[in-house]
Structure formats: C-alpha cells, structure tokens
Structure 1
Amino acid sequence: MQIDDNAALIVIDVQKGFEDPGWGERDNPGAEANIGAILAEWTDADRPVVLVRHDSVAPDSPLDVGQPGNAFKPVVADARHDLLVTKQVNSAFYGDPDLHGWLGERDIHQIVIVGIQTNMCVETTARMGGNLGYDVIVPLDATHTFDLEGTDGARLTADELTRATAVNLHGGGFARVVATADLLEATGDPA
C-alpha cells in the first residue's frame, strides 16, 4: 500500500454524543486509540487532516449543536486540522464547506476515512468518495458502530454491520479496507 504525501485523513463524527447509552451496544472498543494513532501520524507527517462534525437537526439528539454531545471526544478535540466540515446528513461530501471542492483545490486524490459510525457516515462518505474518483482507504479498526434493528424486527450486531461494511466497500470497489497497523506501516510508522 502506498500513501500519498498529501493523502487527506478524514475523521468523521468522533463526538461525545456517541457515548450516550441510547445508541446501544457498540463494537471495537479500540477504535479511538487507533484513530488517535493515525491522527498522530498524519500530524507528524504534516499531511492534511479534515475533522467532520455531525450537527444533528433531530429533536433530542445527543449530537444536537446545543448539547454537550456535539463536542469532539478528547482524542480529536485539540487535534491540528486543516478543515472543519459540519454536516446534517451521512456523507461528509454534503457538508459545509464543500469537501470535494477543498480536496480538488489541493490536488488531493487519496483519502483515509476513520470515525463513527462504521455503517453510516463512514461507509456513506467512503462510497461517495469512491464514486467521485478518490483512492479511498478505510482502516476498519479505526471505526465503530452500534447494534441496529430494521423495520421487520431483524437485528444485526455492530460486529455484523462492520463486516457488512467491509464487504460492501471492498467488494463494491468503493474503498480498500485495511487495518490500522498496515496503514501505519505504509506511512513508515509501525504501530
């Protein structure tokens, strides 16, 4: 795996509101540590970092702008970043300011996506990035999600949803799904 010198790290929705017990059971308790390790490598290498924050418009959401849960978790709260994108939908490409335009202005063709939730905002942003022609890399162990129930009562665990995301992204040709250790090794910083 080759990492471009100007590959952008896109850190999605690493917000305190996802600690709310109302989300249910989560997977990957090591996600934040892996996000922190990747973020430190990107900062040390002076590669571009984009923080994305979900500013929910849903009533009573822990991610609402007026709630403490809207704030970033400590692992990213004081991180050096080149751009802050706010959004109200799943894809960071539908946020403000325009992520695609910002990347294009800087001739960035490779993006690494980490954050919360694996099967929601991370997967949607990765799919759109792939559709827009970016070389998308998703270190899956630097993401996490929660159990989810469908309208028919079927329930998938967070682990099952993460596995489905890996298959969707890799099998669909949207992104390369990798491990944090492999990504860091490719940047010259073994985990």
Structure 2
Amino acid sequence: MDFQTGFESPVWGARNNPDAEANAAHLLGAWRGADAPVCHVRHISTESGSPLGPDTGGTMFKAGLTPQGDEPNFDKSVNSAFIGTGLEAHLHALGEDKVTICGLTTPHCVSTTVRMAANLGFAVTLAHDACAAFAANADTGWARDLPTMTPEALHRAAISHLHGEFAIARATADILARS
C-alpha cells in the first residue's frame, strides 16, 4: 500500500526501516510465485502540491512494487484502502477472508486500513518490517511543547496498537516461512 515515489520527497523528514520496500518486494514475489491474489493500493492526494498528488508525479509506484498483468490497483484519497474503492468487494468476490498488509506509512494509511480490514471481518496479518514511518512534526500547534517522536518510535507504537486486537504482526521472513 502506498509504495509511491511521492514518499521520497524530503518534506516527510526522517524515516525508519529503509528495508521496507525490499521486504514488501519479497512478499510480492512470493505471492506472485504462488499465484495468490495481489492487490495494490495507491494514495492520490486531492491537495494541490502534495507530494502524493498527480501534479507532482508522486503517484508513481516505486520500482519493484508496480502492478503486473491483471493485478488490480485501488486508488484512494483518504487513509483507508476500503473507503471509496472497490477493494472490499474485490476481496469478497475472490472469497478471501484473510489479508496480509504492508505499506507506507505505518501510523497513517497502514494503521487505518488494518483496523478497517479487521472491522470488516478479515483476518489480518501485518508485515511490520515491510512498513515504515516518518518523524512526527511536533513543532507547531498543540504539540509544540511535546518532544518529537522518532520514526522508529511512531512505527513501534502503531504496530503495538494493532497487534493482537486488529492484526497479527509478523516479520516478512516469518510470513514467508508459514506460506
């Protein structure tokens, strides 16, 4: 989800887990090799000038994570991959009741999509090392007196909030060993 060139913009700041894309590519390769269903999700921002907007070129998939053949892509303009897309209907049409999710960014679109998937009745596996987060900017507004959280702290907090209640968080190697 949202492995897009727009997340390479310096506007996002520091990021954790530089191996997220490589781990996602390993999962994608395994799913393709097993002829398992693959769905891609892309964020198309409606805000002019957004790094994830069509006017900035940030909607392109990162190398190695682009849809191939008839793999469907679901475009969204909100945090959840299920809002305003045909993803849920597509998964039900396939008879799928389990999903494995990875992407950018952990505390935003990944977290929202994992929560919604679980609430919609899907059993969710979260590939925690195939996700990443950016530093939170606490320099403005109500948070200016709070310390800035590191990308790793944000990532770990998001994963810890999801694991057990909305998903089972697993490392890529563990997921692949169980496939």
Q: TM-score range by the shorter chain?
A: over 0.9
Query: Within 2, Cα distance between the matches of 1:146 and 1:80?
Result: 32
Match for 1:100 among 67, 70, 88? Answer: 88
Question: The residue matched to 1:53 in structure 2 has which SS?
Answer: strand
Equivalent position amino acid for 1:112 in 2? T
Query: Within 2, Cα distance between the matches of 1:99 and 1:177?
Result: 21
Alignment correspondent of 2:178: 186
Match for 2:55 among 62, 66, 75? Answer: 66
Equivalent position amino acid for 1:174 in 2? F
Alignment correspondent of 2:160: 167
Structure 1 residues 95 and 83: alpha-carbon distance in aligned structure 2, compared to 1, 3 A threshold: farther
Structure 1 residues 112 and 81: alpha-carbon distance in aligned structure 2, compared to 1, 3 A threshold: farther
Identity of matched residues, %: 40
Normalized against structure 2, the TM-score is what?
Answer: 0.93
Equivalent position amino acid for 1:85 in 2? F
**RMSD value over aligned CA atoms?**
1.3
Query: Within 2, Cα distance between the matches of 1:174 and 1:77?
Result: 27
Q: Answer yes or no: is 1:134 the counterpart of 2:126.
A: no
Query: Within 2, Cα distance between the matches of 1:80 and 1:30?
Result: 25
Query: Within 1, Cα distance between the matches of 2:34 and 2:166?
Result: 26
Alignment correspondent of 1:21: 10
Query: Within 2, Cα distance between the matches of 1:77 and 1:50?
Result: 10
Quote how far apart the aligned CAs of 1:102 are.
1.0
Quote how far apart the aligned CAs of 1:80 are.
4.6
Conserved in 2, the CA contact under 8 Å of 1:49 and 1:81?
A: no
Alignment correspondent of 1:176: 168
Unaligned runs of 5+ in 2: none
Deviations 1:135-190 (A, max 9, x none): 0000100001100134322321111111111111014x100001001001011xxx
Query: Within 1, Cα distance between the matches of 2:67 and 2:87?
Result: 21
Query: Within 1, Cα distance between the matches of 2:91 and 2:167?
Result: 17
What is the number of equivalent residue pairs in this alignment? 174
Q: Mean alpha-carbon deviation: is it higher for 138-147 or for 98-107?
A: 98-107
Equivalent position amino acid for 2:33 in 1? D
Quote how far apart the aligned CAs of 1:120 are.
0.5
Alignment correspondent of 2:143: 152
Alignment correspondent of 1:39: 28
Normalized against structure 1, the TM-score is what?
Answer: 0.87
